[in-house]
């Protein structure tokens, strides 16, 4: 029996409904109830999950997709969800009880040994030649980053983190860190009866086949893809004004092979050794999170535009997630980010720097944290106050 809450990941809803224990509501104790009621501002692909002991609770599969339909959805033959996860299973195929292991906390998080699609062995995805499919990808894994390549197909990326993006065929694998989503349009241009692998190539030298697109032997549904290029109407997001934006930075330190020597924890300066004894490994601007309710690390003036500069000074990738807002990714390592996508989570590769911009239009204390759940548990979080 554990307390829990529900966080509506990526939805720009009122702070009191955001589901962060001790910050936006008391935890819901076993046997208690809590009613969430909110208006959804944006269409798109989102998800929900608990925000208490999330490594364990999400790691046991406590989460679900949350789809908000467009007024005019693009015309497709099928609209399909791919909820991607990975699990650390024992030899008896039980969920391994090894949560909060110091190695996972300080390295890449709790990577699993079995990847699944919608909770099952990802093996095969049946398709028919000629059909146009909308795939809604959600990475619900604690720590695994997926980088998908569709052999023999040209997926069209139409949304990231629920927010429409200028439709394009990505040249690189489609990378999804934990918590991230992507909407793709895939025209099944392969031949009836054939099989085409979808490869996950994110981790170097650990490329594996995630699944096979398995074509039925039926005759093609059509001979060439529909000509209309599917496009999504934008959501009502306020456009940040970069000229007048206030600038803030968030520097990420710590972890194995990092250079962090000491950091502030509960108001005291502790050495990395002392922190590790408490299961803490990571700091944002030199501060290690001790709970969800903390003094804000950043104060954003309500109604103004802000630029956040993330610096990853660690040897590990981090998907950084801000609650209650969407931001535009402007640059990476000083280069303009193609398409400047809207997102609620920005992936930072080791030693990468990224700038994002937003209008702070949703008042309250919001969590900003790494969505590798073990990194969050080990201190990689802070509060952003919008007031």
Point out which residues bind ligand C2O (CB under 6 A). Answer: 7, 9, 49, 51, 179, 321, 323, 367, 369, 371
Applying CB under 5 A, the span of 270-278, 287-295, 354-362, 375-383 interacting with Cu ion comes to: 375-383
Q: Which residue is nearest to ligand C2O (CB)?
A: 9
Regarding 375 and contact with Cu ion (CB under 5 A), the answer is yes
Applying CB under 5 A, the span of 79-87, 112-120, 169-177, 372-380 interacting with Cu ion comes to: 372-380
Burial 1-16 (b: 16+ CB within 10 A, else e): eeebbbbbbbbbbebe
Q: Which lies closer to ligand C2O via its Cβ, residue 8 or residue 202?
A: 8
- From the list Cu ion, ligand C2O, none, which binds 300 (C-beta under 5 to 8 Å, kind-based)? none
Q: Which lies closer to Cu ion via its Cβ, residue 88 or residue 318?
A: 318
- From the list ligand C2O, Cu ion, none, which binds 144 (C-beta under 5 to 8 Å, kind-based)? none
DSSP secondary structure, 338-387, as one string: TT--EESEEEE-TT-EEEEEEE--S-EEEEEEESSHHHHHTT-EEEEEE-
What residues contact residue 162 under an 8 Å CB cut-off, 6+ apart? 10, 42, 43, 44, 45, 46, 68, 181, 183, 235, 326, 344
Regarding 372 and contact with Cu ion (CB under 5 A), the answer is yes
- From the list ligand C2O, Cu ion, none, which binds 370 (C-beta under 5 to 8 Å, kind-based)? Cu ion
Helices assigned H by DSSP within the chain? 54-59, 102-106, 272-277, 373-377
Q: Which lies closer to ligand C2O via its Cβ, residue 74 or residue 324?
A: 324
Query: Which H or E run contains 160?
Result: strand 156-160
Q: How far is the CB of 178 from ligand C2O (least distance, A)?
A: 8
Taking the C-alpha atoms of residue 58 and residue 55, their distance in angstroms, rounded to an integer, is 6
Q: How far is the CB of 167 from Cu ion (least distance, A)?
A: 30
With CA atoms as reference, report the closest residue to 184 among 148, 224, 141, 215: 148
Q: Which lies closer to ligand C2O via its Cβ, residue 160 or residue 321?
A: 321
CA angle 372, 149, 195 (to 5 degrees): 125
Provide the mask over 298-337, with x wherever binding to Cu ion is found by CB under 5 A and - wherever it is not.
Answer: --------------------x-------------------
- From the list ligand C2O, Cu ion, none, which binds 318 (C-beta under 5 to 8 Å, kind-based)? Cu ion
Contact 372, 142 (CB under 8 A): yes
| Strand, helix or coil for residue 16 | helix
Q: How far is the CB of 323 from ligand C2O (least distance, A)?
A: 6
> Which token pair is 27?
């935890």
Interacting residue ranges for Cu ion, rule: CB under 5 A: 318, 370, 372, 375
């Amino acid at each position: 029996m554990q307390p829990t809450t529900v966080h509506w990941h990526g939805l720009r809803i009122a702070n009191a409904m955001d589901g962060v224990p001790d910050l936006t509501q008391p935890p819901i104790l076993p046997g208690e109830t809590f009613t969430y009621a909110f208006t959804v501002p944006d269409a798109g692909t989102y998800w929900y999950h608990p925000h208490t002991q999330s490594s364990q609770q999400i790691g046991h599969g406590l989460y679900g997709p949350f789809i908000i339909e467009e007024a005019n959805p693009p015309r497709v033959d099928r609209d399909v969800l791919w909820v991607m996860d990975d699990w650390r299973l024992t030899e008896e195929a039980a969920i391994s009880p090894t949560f909060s292991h110091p190695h996972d906390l300080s390295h890449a998080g709790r990577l699993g040994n079995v990847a699944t699609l919608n909770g099952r062995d990802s093996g095969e995805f049946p398709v028919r030649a000629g059909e146009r499919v909308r795939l809604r990808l959600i990475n619900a894994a604690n720590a695994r980053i997926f980088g998908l390549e569709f052999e023999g197909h040209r997926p069209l990326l139409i949304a990231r983190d629920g927010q429409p993006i200028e439709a394009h065929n990505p040249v690189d694998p489609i990378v999804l860190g934990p918590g991230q989503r992507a909407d793709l349009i895939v025209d099944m241009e392969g031949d009836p009866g054939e099989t085409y692998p979808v490869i996950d190539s994110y981790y170097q030298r650990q490329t594996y086949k995630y699944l096979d697109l398995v074509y039925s032997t039926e005759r093609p549904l059509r001979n060439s893809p529909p000509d209309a290029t599917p496009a999504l109407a934008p959501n009502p997001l306020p456009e940040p004004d970069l000229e007048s934006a206030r600038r803030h930075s968030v520097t990420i330190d710590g972890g194995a092979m990092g250079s962090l020597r000491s950091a502030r924890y509960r108001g005291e300066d502790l050495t990395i050794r002392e922190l590790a004894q408490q299961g803490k490994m990571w700091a944002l601007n030199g501060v290690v999170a001790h709970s969800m309710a903390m003094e804000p690390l950043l104060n954003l003036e309500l109604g103004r535009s802000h630029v956040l500069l993330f610096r990853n000074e660690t040897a590990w990738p981090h998907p950084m997630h801000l609650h209650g807002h969407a931001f535009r990714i402007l640059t990476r390592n000083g280069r303009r980010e193609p398409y400047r996508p809207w997102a609620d989570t920005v992936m930072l590769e080791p030693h990468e720097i990224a700038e994002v911009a937003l209008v702070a239009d949703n008042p309250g204390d919001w969590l900003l944290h790494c969505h590798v759940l073990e990194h969050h548990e080990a201190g990689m979080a802070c509060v952003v106050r919008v007031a």
